[in-house]
C-alpha cells in the first residue's frame, strides 16, 4: 500500500523574512508517519510489507519529524514544499506537490493533516505609499473635481469613492513597485508608520484530492481533519461530518483546540458514510494507532 500524509502549517510570505503562520507544528502527522513505518518495517505484518509513505510538508514540519527519531525510516519519502516548483505560496506549493505524488504513484490513502492557510498576502503597502498614491490619483483627476470634497461626498452612490477604491485595489503592488516603493521580494522596513496588506484566498486543496486520483485513473481513500475551538461535542461532530461529506472523505478526525493541552489531544474519528464515531482517542499516539488499524481493516476489504 502507498500512503500520502500532509502535515504541519503552510506559511504564507509577507516579505523575504516575514510570513503569516499558524500554530501547527506537524507533530501529529509525524507521529502517524512513524506509526505506519513501524508496521511497514516490522516483522509478521504482511498487509503492510513493502508499503511506502510520502510525507509532505514545509521545512519546519520536516525538521520536527526528523527530531523525533535518530533516522528517517527507509519506507518514508520526504517532500519539502518550501519553494516547490518556484511557488511563493506554500499552500500552492503543497497542492502542486500532492498532485505530483498522486500522479506518479497510485496512492491508496491520503491523510490530509496539514493546517492549510486560508489566505495568502497578495500585496503590501506602507502608509506613506498609500498617502502618495492617493495624492497622485487626485492630481491625475483634478479636472473631474475630485479636490472638491462636497462634490465627491454628495455624489449619488459614492461613485468617486467607488472608482478610487477600484483603482487602488487593481494591482496595488504594481503601482507601488513602479514608484520604487515596498516589495514583497525583500525585507520591508520597520521604520515606517505601519503597513496595509491585501489577502487573497488560497486554493481549497482538500476538495481537489479525489480529482487528482481520478485524473490518474484510480480512486483513493482520504482522511481529513476538522479543527474547531470551544464548541460542544455535538457541534464538532455535525461540522466535521458535513465537512467530510462535502469533500469526499472516508474518515474525518475532529478536534476542539480548547481541549488540546497538557499532552492531551482528544479526537472524534468519524466514518463519513455511516456517520458513526468509530474511535475516541485521547492523544496523538492513540490517534495514530487507531488510524493505522482502520486503514489496515480497509485495506483488507
Mean pLDDT for all residues in the chain: 87
Question: When comparing pLDDT for 203 and 149, which is higher?
Answer: 203
Helix segments in 141-275, DSSP class H: 149-154, 159-169, 172-178, 209-215, 233-247
Average pLDDT of the segment spanning 102-128: 91
**Which pLDDT score, from 0 to 100, does residue 181 have?**
47
H or E, element range at 13: strand 12-13
The residues with which 271 forms a beta bridge, in sequence order, are: 251
> For 222-275, how does the pLDDT look when each residue is reduced to its tens digit (9 = 90+)?
999 999 999 999 999 999 999 999 999 999 999 999 999 988 999 999 999 999
- At 13, give phi and psi (nearest 5°): -70, 135
Query: pLDDT tens across 190-210, in order?
Result: 776 777 888 888 989 999 999
Q: Which domains can be identified in the chain, with CATH numbers?
A: 2-118+203-299 (3.40.50.10300), 122-200 (no CATH)
This prediction has a pTM of 0.84
Q: Are 249 and 240 within 8 A, CB to CB?
A: no
pLDDT digits (tens, 9 = 90+) for 20-42: 888 888 999 999 999 999 999 98
Output phi, psi for 154, to 5 deg: -90, -5
Q: Poorest-confidence range of 115-124, 142-151, 162-171, 202-211?
A: 142-151
pLDDT of residue 148: 55
Alpha carbon distance 28, 10 (integer Å): 15
29-75 pLDDT, tens per residue?
A: 999 999 999 999 987 678 898 999 999 999 999 999 999 998 999 99
List the one residue out of 226, 124, 240 whose CA is nearest residue 172: 124
pLDDT at position 131, please? 78
To which residue does cell 481537489 refer? Answer: 208
The residues, any chain, with a CB within 8 Å of residue 249's CB and separated by 6 or more, are 222, 223, 224, 243, 272
Contact indicator for 179, 128 with CB cutoff of 8 Å: no
Amino acid at each position: 500500500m502507498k500512503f500520502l500524509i500532509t502535515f504541519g502549517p503552510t506559511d504564507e510570505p509577507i516579505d523575504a523574512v516575514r510570513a503569516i503562520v499558524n500554530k501547527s507544528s506537524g507533530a501529529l502527522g509525524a507521529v502517524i508517519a512513524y506509526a505506519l513505518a513501524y508496521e511497514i518495517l516490522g516483522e509478521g505484518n504482511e498487509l503492510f510489507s513493502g508499503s511506502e509513505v510520502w510525507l509532505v510538508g514545509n521545512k519546519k514540519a520536516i525538521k520536527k519529524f526528523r527530531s523525533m527519531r535518530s533516522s528517517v525510516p527507509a519506507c518514508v519519502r520526504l517532500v519539502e514544499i518550501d519553494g516547490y516548483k518556484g511557488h511563493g505560496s506554500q499552500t500552492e506549493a503543497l497542492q502542486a506537490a500532492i498532485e505530483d505524488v498522486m500522479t506518479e504513484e497510485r496512492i491508496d490513502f491520503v491523510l490530509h493533516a496539514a493546517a492549510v492557510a486560508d489566505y495568502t498576502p497578495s500585496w503590501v503597502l506602507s502608509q506613506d505609499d498609500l498617502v502618495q498614491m492617493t495624492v497622485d490619483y487626485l492630481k491625475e483627476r483634478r479636472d473631474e473635481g475630485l479636490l472638491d470634497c462636497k462634490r465627491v461626498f454628495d455624489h449619488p452612490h459614492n461613485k468617486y469613492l467607488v472608482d478610487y477604491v477600484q483603482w487602488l485595489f487593481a494591482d496595488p503592488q504594481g503601482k507601488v513597485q513602479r514608484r520604487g516603493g515596498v516589495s514583497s521580494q525583500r525585507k520591508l522596513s520597520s521604520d515606517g508608520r505601519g503597513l496595509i496588506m491585501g489577502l487573497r484566498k488560497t486554493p481549497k486543496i482538500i476538495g481537489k484530492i479525489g480529482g487528482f486520483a481520478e485524473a490518474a485513473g484510480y480512486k483513493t481513500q482520504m482522511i481529513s481533519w476538522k479543527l474547531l475551538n470551544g464548541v460542544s461535542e455535538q457541534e464538532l461532530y455535525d461540522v466535521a461530518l458535513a465537512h467530510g461529506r462535502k469533500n469526499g472523505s472516508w474518515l474525518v478526525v475532529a478536534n476542539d483546540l480548547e481541549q488540546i493541552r497538557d499532552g492531551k489531544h482528544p479526537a472524534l474519528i468519524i466514518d463519513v458514510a455511516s456517520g458513526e464515531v468509530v474511535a475516541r482517542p485521547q492523544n496523538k499516539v492513540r490517534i495514530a494507532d487507531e488510524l493505522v488499524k482502520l486503514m489496515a481493516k480497509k485495506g483488507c476489504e
